[in-house]
A and B are shown apart, each in its own frame.
Chain A
Amino acid sequence: MTAKYGMVINLERCIGCYACVVACKQCWGTRPGVNYNMMNYVEWGEYPDAHQRYVSTMCNHCDNPPCVSACPSQATYKTDEGPVIVDFELCEGCGACVDACPYDHRFLITEDMTTSYEEVVMPCEEKSSKRVNVTEKCTFCYERLAEGLQPMCTVHCPGQCRIFGDVNDPESDISKYIAEKKPTQIAGTSLYYVVPENMDRSLVPPDLADAVSAQMSAKNEKKSTSGDAAKKAPEGVPAAAVAGVVGVAAVAAVGGGVAYKRSKRKSSFEQSE
């Protein structure tokens, strides 16, 4: 059976240390504001029963990726083994996939984007800085997989929160982990989260179908109201998708982005500002 790669992120172990965000950046030399891996802070409750968690999000490598359908040049595609990647040669930088992604995890690299330091190009940025007018994203470290290595975020998680591997192989570490921990799968994607008992499901990314429909609602609302109103979440719907639709466009435009989103409400991924 063909391998199918997936990842479990165990939030019971996660300490919100941000190593995953940086492990990825320093390997791939991504631009300022471009974080294939993001950290989202959530809190709920009040003293003396207050709680916090750190939720790492990335491309969910959807089974049926909206970005792939949206791509007019077939530059982005889903590999046999699961990771969704971009052929930079074919990518025309139209940004359709960025709009299509309901999880806000694709990044359009525009000409005004700099390297970490404007005056120097770091060695890890020598290749990446030559890529302009293309979209980038997490690839599950596809090139490393070919060498039998695990993704950088997985290897470098100090809390050992990430399990990566072939979910089609019942003997693999990840399959055993899934059987034991029974994580919540982001349905329709390759990602799973072990959600602590006292934490609400809505604080991790929504299932693909829900994310897509939230995105549709937001787009419809945006069409019928002003731009500002579109930032608010329709009631009962996780606002991540909504914020993502608006936010990512802004990110792409100004080359700035947030690797860290804070959330206070029980049911939202809303950016705090």
Chain B
Amino acid sequence: MLAILVLLAILIPVISPYDPSAQDLRAFLQPPSADHWLGTDQLGRDLFTRLIYAARTDLSIMVLAEIIPFCTGIFLGMLAGYYGKWMDNIISLVTDTFIAFPFYLIVIIVAFASGAGQRGIFITFMLVGWIVFARVTRGVTVSLRQQEWVASAQTLGLSGIRIMFRHILPNVLPQAVVVLMTDMVGLLVAIVTLGYLGIGIAPPTPDWGTMISDGQSFITTAWWLSAMPGLAVVYTGIALSLVGDGLADLWRRR
């Protein structure tokens, strides 16, 4: 499912004869037809083309904005779990503080503060995205730490950092990746929401959120304008969750 979407997003310039921003005012608000598979919007832009181009923007932002939080989260989580004591206290204090704030509140504040657009999303996610991973990793690390193979690595005289990366990391990664998949769904919805509220991706770059809000005014006459991007979000969400479940099953079997 995810593969289909990614493939489409990569191949769209080849498949579609239309430009995502090209307006054709003679053919505005057309219902789905053979020429325009999902119809056109109020400016006569091909909806299917825009939808897939939007997938490009949204998915790539989603992946890019997850990479750094994923790494820092795991690193901090391992530090907290492995060394415990004051290290754990500090890191847990920070994560708990962030968790006390509703996610969207932080997102909207930061997005306003840093100005709309991709940069806002990146900054927000750098700030709050790592928390989930830090918490999960910390929990797993604390339980792994009791294992005798950690003790035996310690008696071998290996350094703490080495034990963390060579011994604990491979055991933490499966859980973290599964969490990554679910977290990506959340992030995607956040990106789309910001777009919908007008503080996310700036037009004319196609984005599912802005597409939904643009289509809203025509909801009675041209329902597909809002419905299709909405369905696209649902589709991607389900696809990501399925990948997460599949990976979890795979690792459990090993």
Mutual binders A and B:
no
Binding site for A on B (CB under 8 A): none
Binding site for B on A (CB under 8 A): none
